[in-house]
Amino acid sequence: ETGVTQSPTHLIKTRGQQVTLRCSSQSGHNTVSWYQQALGQGPQFIFQYYREEENGRGNFPPRFSGLQFPNYSSELNVNALELDDSALYLCASSLIGSINSPLHFGNGTRLTVT
């Protein structure tokens, strides 16, 4: 059983640029969700994908978008980067339909916007 893996582990971008972060779900999981965690804060829910469609979204602007692929891997895209987008971005996978299914998190991508 493989865990959740995220790439890259660290990334530095300039304000205004676009970034794509990637996530491979744990085998057997069909749902992926993304979170933004600022330093010293708890994670903030960005959105969740199931069957390649977004089925839940937090309070993030449209420049945060995502994709889920048939193999359940996922991408988080952020356009027009702002300094406040600097954070740890976490991906988590789970098995929808099982209310007691825990979220399995990756170790995140640390994004720095300068």
Partner 1 sequence: KNQVEQSPQSLIILEGKNCTLQCNYTVSPFSNLRWYKQDTGRGPVSLTIMTFSENTKSNGRYTATLDADTKQSSLHITASQLSDSASYICVVTATYTGTASKLTFGTGTRLQVTL
In the list 25, 68, 87, 108, the residue contacting partner 1 (rule: CB under 8 A) is 108
The residue assigned the tokens 């600097």 is 86
Could you tell me the CA-to-CA distances from 3 to 12, 21, 36, 40, 106 in Å, in that order? 25, 17, 20, 25, 7
Q: What is the closest distance, in whole angstroms, from the C-beta atom of residue 97 to partner 1 in the complex?
A: 7
- Of 78 and 108, which has the nearer Cβ to partner 1? 108
Cβ atoms within 10 Å, residue 108: 21
Question: Which sign, positive or negative, has the C-alpha torsion 107, 110, 7, 33?
Answer: positive
Enumerate residues 41-100 that contact partner 1 by CB under 8 A. Answer: 41-45, 48, 50, 55-58, 90, 92, 96-97, 99-100
List of residues contacting partner 1 (CB under 8 A): 4, 33, 35, 40-45, 48, 50, 55-58, 90, 92, 96-97, 99-100, 102-108
